[in-house]
Amino acid sequence: MESEKNQIINDSGVGEGGVNENENSPVDKPRYQVGDIVVVGQVLRHIYQSPSRTDAGWLYPVDYGLGLTSEGFVMESAMRPYQEKLDRLKPL
């Protein structure tokens, strides 16, 4: 039975059903955590809740604006990490 399971896993560690069989693989783990500040385009966003997995990738709930009173969702592919030297003057 175990040998059959190993045969259906492709090189990326994802089985035929789209399930990640390798827990250490970055395919199935979100890159950012709750509380992280990320850059989307030319503005900063704050991740306030755990992301959801979609067919297209990880979808993060973010808030922004004065007092972080505005909310939205951003795909992980549209984000990059915050770097203080480059991004400290960008609006949140």
Residues contacting 66, CB < 8 A, separation 6+:
none
Residues 48 and 88 in one domain: yes
Each residue of 14-26: pLDDT tens digit?
Answer: 444 444 444 444 5
Residues 89 and 56 in one domain: yes
pLDDT score for 12:
40
pLDDT score for 23:
46
Mean pLDDT of 58-78: 94
The C-alpha atoms of residue 91 and residue 89 are separated, in whole angstroms, by: 6
Each residue of 67-76: pLDDT tens digit?
Answer: 889 999 999 9
Amino acid at the residue 56: A
Residues 40 and 83 in one domain: yes
Closest-CA residue to 60 (of 89, 42, 39): 39
Residues 52 and 80 in one domain: yes
The C-alpha atoms of residue 68 and residue 45 are separated, in whole angstroms, by: 9
Mean pLDDT of 9-13: 40
Q: Is 20 exposed, middle or buried (0-12, 13-18, 19+ CB in 10 A)?
A: middle
Q: Strands 37-40 and 79-81: what pairing?
A: antiparallel
Mean pLDDT of 4-30: 50
